[in-house]
Structure 1
Amino acid sequence: MVGVALSDCGRLDDGTTAYALHAQAARRALADAGLDRSQVDGFASAGLGTLAPVEVAEYLGLRPTWVDSTSVGGATWEVMAAHAADAITAGHARAVLLVYGSTARADIRAGRRTGTLSFGTRGPLQFEAPYGHTLIAKYAMAARRHLIEYGTTVEQLAEVAVQARANAALNPEALHRTPITVDDVQSGPLIADPFTKLHCCLRSDGGAAVLLAAEDVVRDCRTAPVWVLGTGEYVSHSAMSEWPDFTVSPAAVSGPLAFRRAGVRPEEMDLAELYDAFTYMTLVTLEDLGFCAKGEGGAFVEKGRLRVGGGGLPVNTDGGGLSAQHPGMRGLFLLVEAVRQLRGECGGRQVRRADGSLPRLAVASGTGGWFCSSGTVVLARE
């Protein structure tokens, strides 16, 4: 990975389009890498609504010879990064641009619904959607199962939101930076039991881009490369009735695959960027990636362990979807933050190892749907 960037994010009420956010992020990522648009021969995009890759590529002035439009929800970008790395290794492309842009917040404010809270109502979901069993209800149901099964507490889940906000406070680009407490989280309006408002991600506009390049292209880049060591992907279920265990996410498959292929262990990671549409996602993904045993996630997230400088495992160092930004399908933002951390570009939220050096290893793990899919990428600095 040689170029990463975000578009303007947060509250965009000036008529900015999703296409423009794609272009803004793409231009910034190319400038970050020091490469010209003409050098991009691979392209991947997916998004809310009807933005097809062929349309976005045309808007960006690209004519790729390799293209990917995989769409598996929030895990899309980790899966696409894996596909791009494979394509580069096979010689099918030399520079692949992954790009995303969404005006999710502006669309809601304007009364435009560009997506649903489910993967639609066809097939098996026709038996769930009519009863209001949409995305947030499914996550809440899974969280409640973990609380019952392992004695995890709602206060422990709230700690995830509190620590995400503490990291966001260090990030000038985060949408919400005011510190919060467990009491603040618990006293908010109930959205779907056991989730109050602050257990849930915010809604924002924004875009991101990541540029991957072949090794012979890397030497022409202005940035130090961050290497893809290993990847894993997994698709689990769509209907809740087909999910064998609500306390196990698909990261339990994609994570071990990625670590094994990378030749490293979870305990070697200096930081983790995890999809956090809800607090429960962070907790269960930590378990399933192997940072703690199943059922021990509640204890793991206590005592500030997820904070930058907290003495544990820094998680979602930009503030995550809970506090930084969440324009839907946020997985690409995880890769941007992981690369920036490994390159030492994060200012006040920069992670340091015990000896004061920059982090060497990071993991980004995206989750799609209601734990329907997962993509995990292990990254390394030279």
Structure 2
Amino acid sequence: MAINDHAYIVGAYEHPLRHAPDHSVARLHAEVAKGAVEDAGLSKDDIDGFFCAGDAPGANPWSLANYLNLRKLKYLDSTDMGGCSYLIHVAHAAQAIAAGRCNVALITLAGRPRSEGISGTQVRVRGANLPESPYEMPYRPVTLNLYAMCAMRHMYEFGTTPEQLAWVKVAASRHARHNPNAMLRKPVSVEEVLASPLISDPLHRLDSCVVTDGGGAIVVARAEVAAQLHRPRIRIKGYGETTKHQDAGKIDLTYTGQAWSGPRAFEAAGVGPGDIQYASIYDSFTITVLLQLEDLGFCKKGEGGRFVQDGNLVAGIGRMPVNTDGGGLCNNHPSNRGGMTKIIEAVRQLRGEAHPELQVPGCALALASGIGGAIGHRHGAATLIMEREA
């Protein structure tokens, strides 16, 4: 179902905490929900659609809906595609609104991986109920080495260098210094990235995202509702979603699912990569950014290394400003799922509310991308294109 002109992002909120040992996950969800609803200028009783994923506490979405006391719900969605779930939720909310199933949808994310000691060094595949477990468990796959395999393959195929990957972190750190809530605010150099410990060849510690507590929330509303609110109108213009898996053993590690979801989003929006003024690119690792920039068409396959080097992702300096909040590499990666914060920073840019040093002048068209799972074996991907309505 076409979603153009039907739905708008009217509320957005990112939790300021990066370490919340005294918060429950439910409380974090409640605080970000409250923040987004208030940002929209709405009340809790205006919410009639609710979207959450596997980070939400409880067995089903009604557990959190009960905790939030959402009393007027007529549409719920608990689609879980890992880190890209929240981009998919925005699109599904827009579809539900276009179909007349709800008028105002709330989407929440929250978690405590920093407080609970959960990171990418743990074995990803657990339990006998997953079809791939008997084949993968003997190799003890962890997030770090799954992404490192992709980085190594890209280097082998295209001559990408560790120095080029490091530039992705450098750009993120230059942005994060302007974000008072960012976990890592100190700018780093290429040399400092390469001097950090090698954790899974060729990835260094500083090639990796931060592990944080916190969360975020988004409110999506029908056009008629959005028109009555005193907030900039951020229209959901196009989206795409997909999965990429091992293709019966013929997996190619040099691209992500964005190679499919991106073109679908551009086609739906009626725009191309050259029209995008700001991009929030999922950045679990530096290689994740480089691959997606290629797959989304911002540069040709194999040219990502040259595209990101020399500050080309830095706002005000480079040709494509990316992750001006510091991204998952420096700012925030709540619940080890970065899709929500990608939407929130894109909304800030479109509203003109990013830090003055990093605000893209006249930003009217932005893209957010998300990855869920691991690009080294199977993952979901989603692309969202948003436009500020004049």
- TM interval, shorter chain, is over 0.9
2:367 equivalent in structure 1: 363
Are 2:195 and 1:175 equivalent residues in the alignment?
Answer: no
Are 2:159 and 1:151 equivalent residues in the alignment?
Answer: yes
| Inter-CA distance 267–192: structure 2 relative to 1 (3 Å threshold) | same
The one-character-per-residue Cα deviations of 1:188-219 (angstroms, maximum 9, x if unpaired) are: 11111111100011101011000000011112
Contact 2:79–2:89 (CA under 8 A) maintained in structure 1? yes
2:138 equivalent in structure 1: 130
Matches within 5 A, 1:260-299: 260-299=267-306
The one-character-per-residue Cα deviations of 1:54-92 (angstroms, maximum 9, x if unpaired) are: 111111111421111111111111111111111111111
Contact 1:235–1:374 (CA under 8 A) maintained in structure 2? yes
2:16 equivalent in structure 1: 8
The one-character-per-residue Cα deviations of 1:142-169 (angstroms, maximum 9, x if unpaired) are: 1100000000001100110111111111
Contact 1:104–1:114 (CA under 8 A) maintained in structure 2? no
TM-score of the two chains, using structure 2 as the length reference: 0.92
2-structure distance, mates of 1:241, 1:186: 36
Contact 1:170–1:348 (CA under 8 A) maintained in structure 2? no
Contact 1:33–1:221 (CA under 8 A) maintained in structure 2? yes
1-structure distance, mates of 2:44, 2:18: 27
2-structure distance, mates of 1:82, 1:348: 29
Deviating more after overlay: 157-166 vs 122-131: 122-131
| Letter aligned with residue 98 of structure 2 | T
Deviating more after overlay: 240-249 vs 51-60: 240-249
| Inter-CA distance 113–256: structure 2 relative to 1 (3 Å threshold) | closer
1:103 equivalent in structure 2: 112
State the percentage of identical aligned residues.
40
Matches within 5 A, 1:219-230: 219-230=227-238
2-structure distance, mates of 1:288, 1:243: 18
2-structure distance, mates of 1:272, 1:243: 30
2:214 equivalent in structure 1: 206
1-structure distance, mates of 2:359, 2:316: 7
| Letter aligned with residue 362 of structure 1 | A
1-structure distance, mates of 2:197, 2:133: 28
2-structure distance, mates of 1:59, 1:198: 38
Contact 2:210–2:328 (CA under 8 A) maintained in structure 1? yes
SS in 2 for 1:167: helix
Residue of 243, 247, 253 corresponding to 1:246? 253
Contact 2:120–2:143 (CA under 8 A) maintained in structure 1? no
| Inter-CA distance 114–154: structure 2 relative to 1 (3 Å threshold) | closer
1:118 equivalent in structure 2: 124
| Inter-CA distance 253–119: structure 2 relative to 1 (3 Å threshold) | farther
C-alpha deviation, 1:241, in angstroms: 6.1
| Inter-CA distance 325–266: structure 2 relative to 1 (3 Å threshold) | same
C-alpha deviation, 1:9, in angstroms: 2.4
1-structure distance, mates of 2:250, 2:20: 37
C-alpha deviation, 1:242, in angstroms: 4.2
Q: Which runs of 5+ in 2 are unaligned?
A: 1-8
C-alpha deviation, 1:49, in angstroms: 7.2
C-alpha deviation, 1:115, in angstroms: 11
User: What is the count of residue pairs matched by the alignment?
Assistant: 373
C-alpha deviation, 1:311, in angstroms: 3.2
SS in 1 for 2:132: helix
Contact 2:258–2:296 (CA under 8 A) maintained in structure 1? yes
| Inter-CA distance 36–50: structure 2 relative to 1 (3 Å threshold) | closer
2-structure distance, mates of 1:242, 1:21: 40
Matches within 5 A, 1:57-68: 57-63=65-71, 64-68=73-77
C-alpha deviation, 1:226, in angstroms: 0.3
Contact 1:344–1:350 (CA under 8 A) maintained in structure 2? no
2:6 equivalent in structure 1: none
1-structure distance, mates of 2:113, 2:173: 21
2:29 equivalent in structure 1: 22
2-structure distance, mates of 1:115, 1:205: 17
Residue of 210, 217, 222 corresponding to 2:225? 217
C-alpha deviation, 1:113, in angstroms: 8.9
Are 2:340 and 1:336 equivalent residues in the alignment?
Answer: no
Residue of 317, 321, 325 corresponding to 2:328? 321
C-alpha deviation, 1:220, in angstroms: 2.4
| Inter-CA distance 248–174: structure 2 relative to 1 (3 Å threshold) | same
Contact 2:56–2:109 (CA under 8 A) maintained in structure 1? no
1:81 equivalent in structure 2: 90
| Inter-CA distance 157–259: structure 2 relative to 1 (3 Å threshold) | same
| Inter-CA distance 280–113: structure 2 relative to 1 (3 Å threshold) | closer
TM-score of the two chains, using structure 1 as the length reference: 0.94
2-structure distance, mates of 1:57, 1:212: 17
